[in-house]
Structure 1
Amino acid sequence: MKIIPHSSAEGRIAEIISDEVLITNADDALQLLADLYYQDFVKVVIREQNLAPGFFDLKNGMAGDILQKFSNYRFSLAVIGDFSRYQGKSIRDFIYESNKGRLVNFLDSPAAAFRA
């Protein structure tokens, strides 16, 4: 895993580069969040491929558990990917509602994440 630091008006942003799944459950998310928080980051940009595939199956509760960690600690998260392949109404609504806020966003590029 490589962390590329970026700056914004809100503070430091950590762009995560990895070919591996890094978050498979809420504990993994909390560990990543804590590691970044103690390095003075306020936001993380991570790729869709770094989340366990089950994250996008809302029935299992994984997404809710993981995103609750970011919400509890008021740590921003941007997930980068092509979400058009998720055709279910629930996941599409979930992404749409998340993107209406500022804490968790599902975006198509890192550049969009740095602007969000």
Structure 2
Amino acid sequence: MSDVIQERAGVPVLLCDPAGPPIATEQDALDLVGAAFLGAHAVAVPAARLDASFFSLGTRFAGDVMQKFVNYRLRLVVVGDISAHLAASAALRALVEESNKADHVWFVPDLDALDARLAAAATR
């Protein structure tokens, strides 16, 4: 499967292929932003595609990537199990908790959870 735009809970979402290339640079993130401009309002990236530096907050990579999406008014959704990363970093746990309280960046375990979040956001 390649990256595709699919409507989920009434929202056009760019679903990134789990087997796609890693997101390891800011340019990789900008490439996803560009692909989303074909009509998506959100980008769902499998956690496995994110370089390990994304989850190591000292690298600032996560902040740089998240800021790109905020600047372009796109919702970034990290989809998948990040429990090993969370167990290793209190700072990452805090970031995920705060991000999930807002609307720009979400961390969800699977696409069903994404659908539920999108549906809930539509009713606000």
**TM-score under structure 1 length normalisation:** 0.89
Sequence identity percentage: 30
Partner of 2:44: 45
Q: C-alpha displacement at 1:68, in angstroms? A: 0.5
What amino acid sits opposite 1:35 in the alignment? Answer: A
Between the two proteins, the alignment pairs up a number of residues equal to 115
In structure 2, runs of 5+ residues without a counterpart are 118-124
Q: Secondary structure at the match of 2:16?
A: strand
Partner of 2:109: 108
In structure 1, runs of 5+ residues without a counterpart are none
Alpha-carbon contact 1:20-1:49 (below 8 Å) kept: no
Separation of aligned partners in 1, 2:46 and 2:115: 14
Q: Secondary structure at the match of 1:2?
A: coil
The structure with the greater share of residues assigned to strand is: 1
Alpha-carbon contact 1:10-1:42 (below 8 Å) kept: no
Residue 53 (structure 2) pairs with residue 24 (structure 1): no
The structure-2 alpha-carbon separation of the partners of 1:91 and 1:21, relative to structure 1 and needing over 3 Å to count, comes to: farther
Q: C-alpha displacement at 1:90, in angstroms? A: 0.4
Q: Secondary structure at the match of 1:85?
A: helix
Cα RMSD of the aligned pairs, angstroms, is 1.7
**TM-score under structure 2 length normalisation:** 0.83
